[in-house]
């Protein structure tokens, strides 16, 4: 079931000027909602490991949860977070496991070990978000060297994420390249504030500097939420692509935070962080085609 939209693309049942409520939800209950509305802010992945739920942080309540002091962890989902059937999402239960690199498949346990290890790196309080992403990238390069015949992939993942020695340059897209890619994939469906910002790092350092450091933990939480149960694993050509997905999440938060501050002229504050995260997830989960993102970053797997 789908619903009609007005000339601005808004749902005709959304009461913009009357409490910002949904007429269907109010009059007929949650069971009558279209699937996309009933699921929001949940995003589902089903594979051979089970059913996984991540949240869209376009929902303000979900975004605020990222700022809390509670430790980052993966927890079982219970009602009302877990919904009754039917549940729609990416169903990979009958698909091959994710690719390690274009010519090698992971096994289920090996991929699960990589995903959990990447989230554990983002949970480390001694690492900034950028350093955590670099560490994940370096460990992923070591994991990509794995081939069948020796120790299990899961064991190799543990060793790769434990050993920080001998880090080689890691192939990756820059902040500007990732924002430009998302802008291109959005195909004009969002306001012009996603347009790349010239001399981004210079303007970030001049306008934001260390004032945003206190929100770095929240940005790491957000990146971890995008890596957990991500769809790129099954749509992409290897683990490098998932690492770029995590970098894209961080890049969009920085981009939108700087854009807000350039427009407002104010000092960095928590509202800038929350709105930047909301806009990042609007793009990543509700506007762009994640399969198109996976295709666009596939050359980095070469």
Pairing mode, strands 21-22 and 42-47:
unpaired
Q: What's the rounded mean pLDDT across residues 268-272?
A: 93
CA angle 254, 260, 266 (to 5 degrees): 115
Q: What's the rounded mean pLDDT across residues 267-293?
A: 95
- Sorted by sequence, the CB contacts under 8 Å of residue 23 that are 6+ apart come out as 13, 14, 15
Q: Which has the closest alpha carbon to 36: 46, 26, 24?
A: 24
Q: Where are the domains of the chain?
A: 99-301
What is the per-residue pLDDT for 3? 56
Handedness of CA 228, 233, 238, 241 (dihedral sign): negative
Q: How far apart are CA 298 and CA 285, in angstroms?
A: 19
Please determine, for residue 122, whether its predicted confidence score (pLDDT) is greater than 60. yes
pTM attached to this predicted model: 0.90
Q: What's the rounded mean pLDDT across residues 107-128?
A: 97
pLDDT tens-place string over residues 166-197: 566 788 999 999 999 999 999 877 766 788 89
Averaged pLDDT of the chain? 90
């Amino acid at each position: 079931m789908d619903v009609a939209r007005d000339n601005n693309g808004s749902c005709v049942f959304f009461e913009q000027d009357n409490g910002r409520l949904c007429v269907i939800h109010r009059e007929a209950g949650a069971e009558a909602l279209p699937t996309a509305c009933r699921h929001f802010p949940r995003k589902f992945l089903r594979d051979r490991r089970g059913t996984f739920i991540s949240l869209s942080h376009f929902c303000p309540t979900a975004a605020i949860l990222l700022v809390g002091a509670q430790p980052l962890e993966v927890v079982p989902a219970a009602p009302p977070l877990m919904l009754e059937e039917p549940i729609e999402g990416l169903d990979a239960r009958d698909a091959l496991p994710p690719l390690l690199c274009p010519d090698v498949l992971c096994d289920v346990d090996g991929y699960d070990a990589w995903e959990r290890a990447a989230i554990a790196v983002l949970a480390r309080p001694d690492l900034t978000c950028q350093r955590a992403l670099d560490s994940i990238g370096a460990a992923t390069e070591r994991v990509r060297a794995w081939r069948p015949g020796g120790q299990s992939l899961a064991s190799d993942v543990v060793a790769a994420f434990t050993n920080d020695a001998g880090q080689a340059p890691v192939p990756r897209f820059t902040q500007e390249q990732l924002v430009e890619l998302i802008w291109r994939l959005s195909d004009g469906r969002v306001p012009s504030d996603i347009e790349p910002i010239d001399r981004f790092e210079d303007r970030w350092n001049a306008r934001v500097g260390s004032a945003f450091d206190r929100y770095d933990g929240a940005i790491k939480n957000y990146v971890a939420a995008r890596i957990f149960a991500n769809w790129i694993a099954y749509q992409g050509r290897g683990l490098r692509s998932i690492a770029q997905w995590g970098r894209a999440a961080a890049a969009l938060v920085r981009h939108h935070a700087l854009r807000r501050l350039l427009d407002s002229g104010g000092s960095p504050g928590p509202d800038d962080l929350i709105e930047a995260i909301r806009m990042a997830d609007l793009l990543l989960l509700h506007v762009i085609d994640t399969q198109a993102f996976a295709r666009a970053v596939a050359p980095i797997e070469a």
